[in-house]
Structures are given as C-alpha cells and as structure tokens.
Structure 1
Amino acid sequence: MEWDPTQFFRDGVRLSVPFALLVLNQPINERAFAALKKHACFTVCADGGANRYYDLMKSQDKETSDLPNVIIGDLDSILPSVRKHYDSLGVEIIHDPDQYSTDFTKCLKYLRANSSSILRSAATNPDSLLPETALKTDPQSSPRLDVLILGGLGGRVDQAFSQIHHLYTMSRHSGNEDSPGELYLVSEESISFVLRKGRNVIKTPGTRRPLSSSSDSAHTSTSNSDLTNTQSYPISDTGDVYYLEENIGILPASGPAVISTNGLEWDVSDWRTEMGGQMSTSNHIRADVVTIESNEQVLFTAELAERFKAK
C-alpha cells in the first residue's frame, strides 16, 4: 500500500486520489483547514460540526459565501440558528435518526453512496486538481473518495478512541461497499491513518529534519530502491516548504504487531510492539520515503509542520 499524506497540503499538485472534508463537532484546526479546503472536492458537517464550521466562517466574514455541501446527523447538536442559516442558503440538511450509528458513520455512509455524483460534479470545476483517473473505475464499484476528518482526536478521550475505532473498522472494509476510501484524522498537531498488513510505503517529502546527521548517513548506505532521495530540505525563515515535522509514531492500537521499518532514525526489524510493551513513539523521519512492514494493522501518526498546527 502506498500513502502520500502531504499531497493534501501541497499547492498546485494534482492529487492521486480526490478527497472530501468531514467536520466533526470538535474545535477545527484553522490552519490545516485553510490548506485542505482549497483542494477538497466536497465538505460534509456531522451534526454539531456545522456549528464549528459556521463559527469559523463567521470569524472570516464568509458565513454566507463559504458553505458546507451537506449537514448530516440526528440533528440534536446543531443550533437552531445555525440550521436556519444554512437551510435558508440551500444547504442540504439530512436528518438520520438511526441511534445505532454515530453522526460520523452516517457521514461516511453518505459519502460512499454518493461518491460518483460528488466526483462528477467536482470534475466540472475548471480549477479542479482531481486525478485524470478519478472517474475511470470498475463499473461494479464506486470511485475512490478519500476522507480527511477534522477534529478527530480532540476533546473527550472516549470520543478520540471512538474515532480511532472507526479508522480501524473502515480500513478493514476499504475497497468494498462499506468504505468511501482511505480515512485520515487531522487533529490540532498531527495527521493519522491506519496502515495495512504487509508492506506500506509512505511518502514524506517536505519534512523538517536535520540537514545532516550520523543517522542520515547510516541510513543512506542501507536504503532500498524506494529510498531514492534522502537529502534534507533547506530550512527557511518562513518554513514554507515544510509539510511535516520529523516526529512520528507507530501505534499497535488493535493488538500486538511485528513491524520492520526503513527511513526512520531508529529503524527496527521483526520488532514486536504492543500496548504495555515496546512502542515506536517519538521516532524521527530520516528519508523522503518511509517503509513499514507489519503483520497487523497499526496506526501511523505524523506531526504536522508548525504552520499547519492549531494556533
């Protein structure tokens, strides 16, 4: 499996896969939102997430011009004034009273069911950066639409674990009718996603890391064919070239796993990791491509560049 998490933040880059933004009822990382909104082909608010979206737009005097595409949920959290505001502007508001699913999963279900029409509509935008293959899919399956979730790991601890649970659940069904595509959680400081069993190749260009170090040199001599570019990016005063800081974590959130890595400061081989045992946290990116092999799904989390972190 190949991952390219920084593509969502890069200006002028044609995306390998189109994505939708899902806004939860948690504080929005405004800096990350500003970068992601430019490239998203669709925006959905999960019930009370509409309140968060409205407040952010109002602070920028854009509450009547920058609108979500749809609001979905049991609608017990959206404020009456916010609902009236978006209803008056023609925003689709869907009441789903199902008490056996969360507003989060209701939004994912909607995105899956409507991915073809969402992409078809987005493709008519002359400024669209959708990949040319976005609509060229097997007629028996829906086009892939990845989802970036804003607010996924903030707030209450039980809700944070619930979002991670959804990540694991959806990743197990990726590619079938239960999943709209890959899911990414964008929190105040990080972007996180679940790696597959087997080999995962993660592109990490634009990572702020030391210009030179013994670990870089040692890694270069042992890198495989995927690690073709290990030079570090120059540090500028503005930091405009950066998308990630060097810190990452590989978390065995669903149970013990055995992992092997390449491209990190502290690489491991056939290394057992588990909650309550050894874990790879606060490790450092040391190449433009990182490979991680695992016998089980693991959560990968990378620190966003300072300019994308919440204020």
Structure 2
Amino acid sequence: MGSPAAADNLVTENPDHVHIMPPDDAHVICPTDYFSGSGKKVLLLLNQEIKLSVTAIQQVWDASQLRICADGGANQLYEYSLKHGLDWLPDFVIGDLDSLRPEVSLFYKSKGVKVKQQASQYYSDLDKAITLSNLVLLDPTINLDDYDDYDGVSKYEESITDSIDDKVSVFMMGSIGGRFDHTVSTISKLIKLYHTRPNFQFIVRNNEYSEYILFIPRGRSFVTLLQEKDYHRGEELVKGKLPLVGLLPLACPVRLSTSGLKWDVTNWDSSIEGKVSANNLLVGDNGFLVDTTGPIFVNIEI
C-alpha cells in the first residue's frame, strides 16, 4: 500500500521556531537579493510621500542600475531630497505629467534628467515607467525625443521584437497605500505582468508599514529574507518578535500547503470569498515554503 493522502483543509499549529530545508525544485523568492550581487535592477518611484528612513532608501538607491520616477513620483523624490539634504537625481521622469509640479520639472531638467510626457490615458503611469525601463535596458542610448509625447514610447515597444532574457528585478515604492483604487490597480497590474513580462520580478515595499508585498507564482516557492548562503547554513531569520505573514489569493481561488508558518496549512482552499490566511506568523528560522495551485500575493513583515 502507498502512503495515505494528506488530509484536506488541515491546519497545524507549530512551535515558534522551526527550520525549513527548501527542496531543490522550489523557486526561491528573496527580496533582499536586490541589495547584493549582479543583475538588472530598476527602482520605480510612484506618487506617494516617501516615509522610509534615508538609510532604507539609500540601500535601494545604491543597488539600482536604473531609477525612474512615474509622474508625481518625481515630486516625492524632490521633497524627500530637499528635506534630507540629498542630491539624488532620477535617470528619467515619465507619465502624463498631470501631477508633476512645474518647478520640479524645471529643476530636474536643469540637472540633465530626461522628463518625457506620454499623455495617453490608455496606459497608466506605471505602465509607461515599466515600458521605459525595458527599452532603456535593451538600449541605454535610446533617445526619447524620437518618440511623440502622446504614446510614442509604448507604441515603439510594441513594434519591436527584441526582448530581455535575463531576470530584471524591479523595486517599487509608492504603489501600495494611499488611494485604494491605486493600490488595487497596482495589484491588477502585477498579475498581468506575470504573464506579459515573466522575466520581471517585482518587489513592492509598503511605504506606510514595514513589509514587502511579493507576487508568488503557481507551484512551490521558498520565501526568505536571507541570502542563499545564510538560509542553507541555518542562519536565523526569526529573532525576537515573529514577523507577520499574509497569504492573499487576490488573483484566483487556490489550494495551499505551507511549511514554516505558525499555522501551517495542508491542501487548504483559499479565496477572497472564502478563507484567507491573514495575520499568520513566520516561525521558520530561515523562511517558509508555500505550494499553491495558482498565483498569490504574500506580505511579509520586515
């Protein structure tokens, strides 16, 4: 006889510290990889007040190969830099520019920053910033003056067949929190981007709460805040207060199995209309494993 099948919709309460050995076939998702190593890394700043510490922003800024403000995100960077005596300049400002203040636009232009209007309302400012990041990574010498100020940049990308095969890590700030419709729009966009730009990995940093929001694809993933050398040798991630974790089925109903959470689940049906694992806790000292039948979002406290 074979081994008995795992029970459905099972919840298991774990002790406060366990160690997880990630299987070889697990997809490792580690947002802190952004801060070390090589690879293509893009910082996108959207239109919300920057409330994080200079140290936190500096870490992201220094790690980024390309820094783009989406419309009013330029206002936020300008105010933050002024407040803290910083001389940070983005590489580009792009969007319909209905939020960009004239004095901010003039300041950045005077410093050599390319400010590009794309007035079309059929693409969001986030769309335009992601499109621009793709084009600049493909061709760092791209001249935006060659494209009209309505939708020329987006139309140009749609016309080319070149693509980036390497992984691109995109760190997004100012996209979660604030207006609810903007937050939902960001979530919707990330779900679509999973299909249209599969090599882009998005790391969303909550501007109002100390957490990452991560998109977790279908299948088995190991989620950690530790570098590979640390989680394999048993370096402890959980010290003191247990970080909060949420498993959010925002794209579709899913069936989940986890290992490394305070309340692990096995073959657990989860949906917006049904059960959602919110306010869970990370007890895996190096991360946690999640197996899902469909894409989900995970928020993990830092």
Partner of 1:195: 216
| CA-CA distance at 1:205 after TM superposition | 2.9
Partner amino acid, structure 2, of 1:47: D
Q: Report 1:1-311 matches (<5 A).
A: 1-9=27-35, 13-15=36-38, 17-31=39-53, 32-62=56-86, 65-117=87-139, 141-142=163-164, 143-175=166-198, 181-188=200-207, 189=209, 190-205=211-226, 232=236, 246-287=243-284, 288-304=286-302
Report if the CA contact (8 A) 1:42-1:118 is conserved.
no
Helix, strand or coil: the match of 2:214? strand
Q: Over residues 116-172 of structure 1, what are the superposed CA-to-partner deviations in whole Å (9 max), with x where a residue is unaligned?
A: 3459xxxxxxxxxxxxxxxxxxx9641332111101111111111111111111112
Q: CA, structure 1 residues 234+187, in 2 after alignment: closer, same or farther (shift >3 Å)?
A: closer
Distance in 2, matches of 1:19 and 1:201, equals 21
Q: Across the two proteins, how many residue pairs are aligned to each other? A: 248
Distance in 2, matches of 1:275 and 1:303, equals 21
Q: CA, structure 1 residues 264+79, in 2 after alignment: closer, same or farther (shift >3 Å)?
A: same
- RMSD across aligned positions (CA): 2.4
| CA-CA distance at 1:291 after TM superposition | 1.3
Helix, strand or coil: the match of 2:191? helix
Q: CA, structure 1 residues 228+30, in 2 after alignment: closer, same or farther (shift >3 Å)?
A: closer
Distance in 1, matches of 2:99 and 2:79, equals 14
Distance in 2, matches of 1:92 and 1:4, equals 32
Q: Over residues 215-256 of structure 1, what are the superposed CA-to-partner deviations in whole Å (9 max), with x where a residue is unaligned?
A: xxxxxxxxxxxx8555645859xxxxxxx9611111001221
Partner amino acid, structure 2, of 1:2: V
Distance in 1, matches of 2:122 and 2:168, equals 24
Gap runs ≥5 in structure 2: 1-26, 142-160
Q: CA, structure 1 residues 61+245, in 2 after alignment: closer, same or farther (shift >3 Å)?
A: farther
Distance in 2, matches of 1:93 and 1:40, equals 19
TM-score by length of 1: 0.73
TM-score by length of 2: 0.75
Partner amino acid, structure 1, of 2:262: E
| CA-CA distance at 1:80 after TM superposition | 0.4
Q: CA, structure 1 residues 145+228, in 2 after alignment: closer, same or farther (shift >3 Å)?
A: closer
Q: Which has the higher contact order (CA 8 A, sep 6+)?
A: 2
| CA-CA distance at 1:186 after TM superposition | 0.8
Identity of aligned residues (%): 26
Partner amino acid, structure 2, of 1:4: C
Q: Over residues 39-59 of structure 1, what are the superposed CA-to-partner deviations in whole Å (9 max), with x where a residue is unaligned?
A: 111110001110000001111
Distance in 2, matches of 1:167 and 1:245, equals 28
Q: CA, structure 1 residues 81+18, in 2 after alignment: closer, same or farther (shift >3 Å)?
A: same
Gap runs ≥5 in structure 1: 120-138, 207-226, 237-243, 305-311
Report if the CA contact (8 A) 1:246-1:285 is conserved.
yes
Q: Over residues 248-303 of structure 1, what are the superposed CA-to-partner deviations in whole Å (9 max), with x where a residue is unaligned?
A: 11100122110111111111111001113211111111221321111111011111
Report if the CA contact (8 A) 1:29-1:151 is conserved.
no
| CA-CA distance at 1:94 after TM superposition | 0.9
Which protein shows a greater Rg?
2
Q: CA, structure 1 residues 229+274, in 2 after alignment: closer, same or farther (shift >3 Å)?
A: farther
